[in-house]
Structure 1
Amino acid sequence: MDLRKLEHFVAVAEERNFTRAAARLHIVQSGISSSIKALERELGIPLFLRTTQHVELTPAGHALLVQARRILADVADAHQAIARIRGGLIGTLNLGILYGYSPTGIATHLARFRAGHPQVAIQLRGTGAHDIVDHAQRLHNGDLDLAFLLVTRPLPGLVLYPIGTETVLLACHPDHPLATHDTIRLADLAAETTIDFPPTWGVRSAVDAAYAAVGLERQVRFEMNDLSTILDLVRHGLGVAFVPGFLTCEAPGVRFLRVRELPAEFEVALAAPSSRPLSPVSGAFLDTVLRPM
């Protein structure tokens, strides 16, 4: 029983899906399927119940999962111990971030990674005018190793590792007529001046999809790729804006309302290119992010 087979087994067990497990490990699905079959032959017992929709662990699979996780964790600890003796990881992490946005403990993840790998240089790249498109292209062409994204849908060529969720709220001036409500409808905004992000930004995509779903159109009068500027415009009564919900703790002088037609949450994810394996530095940062705090 080799470690590679155990790693493949744990991935399938956690993902409950061979395709997602293969994407997570950056290998082809046939490779992970062959690995699981070989492990089952070696042990002489099925580890998964397979259907067309998903896979479930057998009793033997549940028993193995506990031990496999322990073994892999011990091996990872051993590698880290040797790395520390050798002086730790050395290299550069090119990480895409979102301007003005630090959800789900992103700063904490960076601090934890820095504490464990002090010799790694970290290059932070903010978004350009097209947010997700910019970061996705940089991941594809190798300019970025990993990137934090706000996503409302799968993105071709990228593996997305969810790290949390966020809400979308409407920001308005405290004296705005709608400010007396806690929840509104999109139809209530028909005559409002809207301040918004560029069309491909995660929040803008979520809002545009909500408008399309109810058959409404809107006019965006101000378009800006900076959160602080958007909130400043709202404070001056120049319009209303759809913004990430984390701002409720960071934006005095602004009223935040829920919008009934908007999804309750959208996903915050760390994205990696599916076309190439992660470097040791990138893999270490991903492990840091996915490891419980």
Structure 2
Amino acid sequence: MELRHLRYFVAVAEERHFGRAAERLHMAQPPLSQQIRRLEDELGVRLLDRTTRRVELTAAGSAYLVRARALLAGVDDAGEEVRRVAAGLKGRLVVGCVGSATYSLLPALARRLHEELPDVDVSFRGEMLGPQQAAALLDREIDLALLRPPVDEPSLRLSRVREERLIVALPDGHRLASRRRLGVSDLRGEDLVVHTARGSVMYGAVVALCREAGFEPRIRHEVAETSTLVTFVAAGLGVAVVPEPVSELGIRGTTYRPLVARDARIDLVAAVRADDDSPALARAQEVLAALVG
């Protein structure tokens, strides 16, 4: 038995006429009659009562019609589903984000993905440091990473998302908050709150800026999460150099000022596995590019 036999039977059952069914199927009537006979022979039951003018379903034929329609509908649904998967319109993705992207880019990206790819199940893992995301990509725990370069993994493919300015986060009322902008040298002698040295690109960027300005940073607190870092600043435990999107976090008690320096910018990149040919991932990257472009 083949699927075409089911389609032949359904056409005859619905038309109640071999001639009209043959027309509908774009085939000659004799081969259609022959195929229906073969189907009945294989099943060992009579599905149709034939007269010269009309075709009627037997009780067995009526029961078989219900199941045949369900089977064909299931096959059609499966075909449509795999076509949508192949087109990147259905699937599952996990996206990782560094802290600043968690608060600035993730909400807009989540909304846009839901609007444009409603049948792709997208979940997010926020506040992930770069090395965590690279390891999660290689372990196939996430599919798309938004992180800071450099990323020394040849099996990952990177694309630039945007360049972000660095700013200074200060406690409200801090002596430097009265300035319109700050230089790196203004941070000499200040207690600094930074991302943890283990795996944070921002830690290295802050240290490099201070050393280029001729002093060693006075690091008082290292934290893993951006929200914790800004909370420490708001509590008066120090000041911090952060990417500009961090200001969108909206923690009360914090003032932000532009940082004037030659290298006061940092990149945000998207990383994926180089061998990942997921159509849904390709679609999601297109959505991301359109969002930030």
Question: Would you call these one fold, judging by a TM-score over 0.5?
Answer: yes
1:156 to 153, 157, 163: 153
Equivalent positions of 1:68-107 (< 5 A) are 83=83, 89-99=89-99, 101-102=101-102, 105-107=105-107
**Partner of 2:146: helix, strand, or coil?**
strand
CA–CA separation in structure 1 for the residues paired with 2:278 and 2:147: 20
The one-letter code sitting in structure 2 at the alignment partner of 1:221 is: R
CA–CA separation in structure 1 for the residues paired with 2:116 and 2:146: 20
Instruction: Deviation per CA, 1:162-188: give whole Å up to 9, x if none.
Output: 222211111112322222222333333
CA–CA separation in structure 2 for the residues paired with 1:278 and 1:103: 28
CA–CA separation in structure 2 for the residues paired with 1:169 and 1:262: 13
Q: Structure 1 residues 209 and 83 mapped into 2: Cα distance closer, same or farther (>3 Å)?
A: farther
Q: Structure 1 residues 115 and 230 mapped into 2: Cα distance closer, same or farther (>3 Å)?
A: same
The one-letter code sitting in structure 2 at the alignment partner of 1:117 is: L
**Partner of 2:141: helix, strand, or coil?**
coil
CA–CA separation in structure 1 for the residues paired with 2:89 and 2:232: 45
Instruction: Deviation per CA, 1:9-53: give whole Å up to 9, x if none.
Output: xxxxxxxxxxxxxxxxxxxxxxxxxxxxxxxxxxxxxxxxxxxxx
CA–CA separation in structure 2 for the residues paired with 1:272 and 1:125: 15
State the 1:86 CA deviation. 9.4
**Partner of 1:188: helix, strand, or coil?**
helix
Matched with 2:72 is none
Query: Is 1:268 aligned with 2:265?
Result: no
Preserved contact between residue 94 and residue 125 of structure 1 (Cα < 8 Å): yes
Structure 2 unaligned blocks of 5 or more: 1-79
State the 1:132 CA deviation. 0.6
Instruction: Deviation per CA, 1:193-233: give whole Å up to 9, x if none.
Output: 11111123233232122223334212311111222322222
Matched with 1:185 is 183
Preserved contact between residue 104 and residue 164 of structure 1 (Cα < 8 Å): no
Preserved contact between residue 134 and residue 151 of structure 2 (Cα < 8 Å): no
Task: Compare CA radii of gyration and give the structure with the larger one.
Answer: 2
Matched with 1:27 is none
Preserved contact between residue 189 and residue 218 of structure 2 (Cα < 8 Å): no
Query: Is 1:175 aligned with 2:167?
Result: no
The one-letter code sitting in structure 2 at the alignment partner of 1:240 is: V
The one-letter code sitting in structure 2 at the alignment partner of 1:92 is: R
Matched with 1:288 is 287
Preserved contact between residue 100 and residue 226 of structure 1 (Cα < 8 Å): no
CA–CA separation in structure 1 for the residues paired with 2:136 and 2:243: 24
CA–CA separation in structure 2 for the residues paired with 1:232 and 1:168: 18
Preserved contact between residue 197 and residue 225 of structure 1 (Cα < 8 Å): yes
Preserved contact between residue 166 and residue 243 of structure 2 (Cα < 8 Å): yes
1:144 to 135, 142, 145: 142
* Normalised TM-score (structure 2): 0.62
CA–CA separation in structure 2 for the residues paired with 1:161 and 1:103: 20
CA–CA separation in structure 2 for the residues paired with 1:262 and 1:226: 26
State the 1:136 CA deviation. 0.9
**Partner of 2:169: helix, strand, or coil?**
strand
Matched with 1:204 is 203
Query: Is 1:222 aligned with 2:226?
Result: no
CA–CA separation in structure 2 for the residues paired with 1:248 and 1:100: 9
Count of aligned pairs: 210
The one-letter code sitting in structure 1 at the alignment partner of 2:234 is: R
Preserved contact between residue 84 and residue 90 of structure 2 (Cα < 8 Å): no
Matched with 2:278 is 279
**Partner of 1:291: helix, strand, or coil?**
helix
Matched with 2:9 is none
**Partner of 2:148: helix, strand, or coil?**
strand
User: What's the C-alpha RMSD, in Å, of the aligned pairs?
Assistant: 3.1
